[in-house]
Structure formats: structure tokens, C-alpha cells
Amino acid sequence: MTRQYTVIDLFAGAGGLTEGFLRHSFNTVAHVEMNQYATQTLETRLLYYRLAEVGMKDFYYQYFSGEISRDDFIAGCKEHRIDDTGVNHCEISEKTESGLIRSVKKRLKEEGEKSVDVIIGGPPCQAYSLVGRGRAKDGMVNDPRNLLYLYYLKAIRTFKPKIFVFENVPGITSSLKGKVFEDFTRKIGEMGYCGDPKARILNAADFGVLQNRKRIVYIGWKKGLNFDYPDFQVKRSEYNVGSLFDDLPDLYPGEGSNDPQEYLTNASSGYLKETGIRTDEPVVRNHFARNHNDRDRDIYRRVIRRWESQHERLRYDDLPEKLKTHKKRKVFTDRFKVLDKDGYSHAVLAHLAKDGHYFIYPDSKYARSITVREAARIQSFPDSFLFEGPRTAQYVQIGNAVPPLMATGIAEEIKKGLDQN
């Protein structure tokens, strides 16, 4: 496969954005990610693509299906000299930035690339999130993550990409009373980049994802480039969340496994086939349900039945006193929420790692929260995408990711723009 344009992915996470650019034949020469498990997930996925390109996808599926360990998988890739993924497992900071720049420059040289076409990514969104700021006593004013965007700017100043894609939560526009976004925009202009409009709030649902997930996507390009902010075609799906789960093994709380399991049925919904979420492999991974106590399961059933019978969200104050354990009852009154199986999901969040109350599986028979694989499907990750690490880490990776279908749509338009130039 010819990979025409070069990409650097900063704050890469598990690789949701990278996945979209790989699907359009971009050469993702370097990635930077500080989380250990997200780094492993990203490495595994990049090796999947490298193996596929040399006709060795079966070797990946030996690992995926549990026939060999991860150590054996990595060793086998090294034997075939396809283990260099360009992933830097490192926090981006004042101490590390010089070393990271040297590492990326070395990687570019090794790949025979003289320049960078695109820089993608976005710093952790917790400090910019309205919910996160609302929970913190100081409104996250003193959170050092507020300033991580400066390292993104440093990368643009250093590598001078033709185009960059900066993704984050809409709350970044009001972070530190708007100073973060104002400073980012001003400095981008000073470095010779433009765009009109420079940023838009995009909804993943408009890219075919079965989830209402709004994110700000800032796209900048060098002045003089024949480019404009893409007019993304709306591609809303006629399917619903219920069509995502029918072929997955039925699970009660505590059931399932991180290891391979057979699908419940060979048949799958048209959505799963059209999007490539369901793969040809006979097994699925990362499908295991967390345990829940009887009180929470009782609440889950009440939440599900209220939604099914009245299409209303059950508020915390609506619960019987015996089921209320939180003293603060005037905030986060919708702390329990079932997925709408007849519509689109609400935004999948990293908070899933904590308790799952906000993402209840839409069937009172099972009375549980969604599994990692179910969350991954809502985010449009293909079943062949393996998440590494313990379950809590997998939830965090998925909740923080850009949905691959959305990333694919963005990458398609970026490629068109580069082709024109």
C-alpha cells in the first residue's frame, strides 16, 4: 500500500485519530502518548496494519485469538523487522520535548521523509471539560494540563506541517476565560497558518457514528495553500444502538472474558457490515461485564423500565430512599442513564472506568453496565481493534478516543486538500 503523506500524532491515546488516517494511506511516522496501556494498544494496532501490508495478517490473528502471547507476538514482529511503529511512550513536558523532537526527526530520516504533511491530536481534555471544571474546587484554573496546547504549538513551529488537525472538547473555547483558545489562535496566525472559519463543533453522529458526541475540530493550513475548512457531508445512519449488540454473547454481571469468545450468531446487522465494525474472525475480544451489587442492579432495572415505558430519564430523587446513598442530591441528578437502544447513544466518556452507571445496557434482564467491546462499538472501533491493559484502562482509552468513523471522514477531506496541492 502506498502511503503518500506523513503524519505525526500527538497525545495519541489508543489511536482513534490515527486509525482514520491509516485508512486513507497516510504514513503515521510518529506518535507520542504517555499512558502505558494506551501506548500498548496503539502499538498493537500499528503492527496489525504493518502485518496486513506484507500479507501476514494471520500472524496478528494468532495473537488476537489467544494462540500466542503478546511477548511472542512482539518477538515475531521483530523477527520480520516490522516492529518499529514510531510510538514514543513519553509524557510531553519541558523536560522531554527536546528529546521527543530529536526522536521524531530521526524517525523521519529513517522513513526517508523530508517533511511532515499533517500533525494531528489534542491534549487531554479534562482541564477543558465543563463537567471536569464544575467538579473541581478551583475550576481547574491551576491544572497544568491547561497549558499542554503549548507543546502542540511547539511541534507545529518545529515541523511546519502543511495542515494540522487539533481536536478537543468544546469547553476549550472558554478555558481560563477564553484565554487558552485565544492564545492558540493568535499564535497559529503568527506562525503562518490560516483558516476561515478556523474551528467548528462537529458531531460524531454526522459521520455515521451511532453516538451524539460533539467535539471542536480546529483545522489550520499554511497561508498560500489551496485549501479551506472542509464542508463535511452529513452521513447520519438510519440504524440505532440496538443494532450494535445483537451478535455479541449475552452476559450477566461478572460474566464474559477479556480473552476470545465466539459470537452469539454469525449474522450481524447491516450497520456492522457497512462500517466494517464486525470483522471476519470467528471470535471477539474485550467483552466482559463488571460486577454490580444488588442495590445498583435494582436501580438499573428501574431506570430501564422508566425509559421503556415513558421515554423519560429517572432522576436520582425519584428513587426510593433505601436506594439513595449519595448525600449530594441536587447535582448530577441523572447519574444513572440507560442507552437508548432505539436511537443514538449519548457521548461515551472515560468516566466509564469508574462505575458504569451512566452507560446502562438497555435490557432489564441483564441489569448491568456496558462492556468494553460494547463501548468500543458505540465509538465505531472495529472488533479487530484490540485494547490492551486491565478493563478500567480499556474503558479510559475508549472514552478518550476520537471515533474512527469520524476520524476517517476528517482524514478523507485532509487527503483531498493535500491532493489539490
Instruction: Return the active site residues.
Output: 125
Q: What are the grid coordinates assigned to 252, written together?
A: 450477566
Determine if the peptide bond prior to 197 is cis (ω within 30°).
Answer: yes
Coil, strand or helix: which one is 94?
Answer: coil
Q: How far apart are CA 305 and CA 72, in angstroms?
A: 48
Total residues belonging to the chain: 421
CA distances from 342 to 211, 239, 339 (A): 12, 8, 9
First to last CA, the chain: 21
Say how many C-beta atoms besides its own lie within 10 A of residue 366's C-beta: 19
Q: How far apart are CA 118 and CA 114, in angstroms?
A: 13
Q: How far apart are CA 248 and CA 255, in angstroms?
A: 13
The sign of the CA dihedral 372, 373, 376, 382 is: positive
Q: Helix %, strand %, coil % for the chain, to 5?
A: 40, 15, 45
Say how many C-beta atoms besides its own lie within 10 A of residue 335's C-beta: 15
Would you say 385 and 362 are in contact if contact means Cβ atoms under 8 Å apart? no
Strand partners, 250: none
Give the max Cα distance, the chain. 66
Q: How far apart are CA 264 and CA 245, in angstroms?
A: 10
Q: Which amino acid is at 251?
A: L
Would you say 368 and 357 are in contact if contact means Cβ atoms under 8 Å apart? no
